[in-house]
Amino acid sequence: MYTTFTENVNKEKQKQENIQQKSLSVLSYYQSTLRNSGMFTTLALATLAAAHGHVIHKNPWGGYARYAASLLFLGLAVFVSFRLLVLREKNIHLNDPLGPWQPVNISILIAQVVIFIAIVLSFVNKMILKH
What per-residue confidence (pLDDT) applies to 99?
A: 79
Q: Considering the entire predicted model, what is its pTM?
A: 0.79
What per-residue confidence (pLDDT) applies to 21?
A: 79
Tell me the average confidence (pLDDT) per consecutive run of 10 residues in the chain, 131 residues long: 61 75 82 92 94 80 91 96 86 77 88 95 84 59
Is the separation of the CB atoms in 107 and 47 below 8 Å?
no
The total number of structural domains that make up the chain:
1
What per-residue confidence (pLDDT) applies to 98?
A: 78
Separation CA 82–CA 88 (nearest Å)? 10
What per-residue confidence (pLDDT) applies to 60?
A: 83
What per-residue confidence (pLDDT) applies to 80?
A: 93
- In 3D, which of 20, 35, 41 has the Cα closest to residue 110? 41
What per-residue confidence (pLDDT) applies to 8?
A: 67
**Which residues have a Cβ under 8 Å from the Cβ of 24 and sit 6 or more positions away?**
97
Range of the domain at 60: 2-129
What per-residue confidence (pLDDT) applies to 23?
A: 78
What per-residue confidence (pLDDT) applies to 108?
A: 92
List Cα–Cα distances, 59 to 51, 116, 131, in angstroms. 11, 24, 11
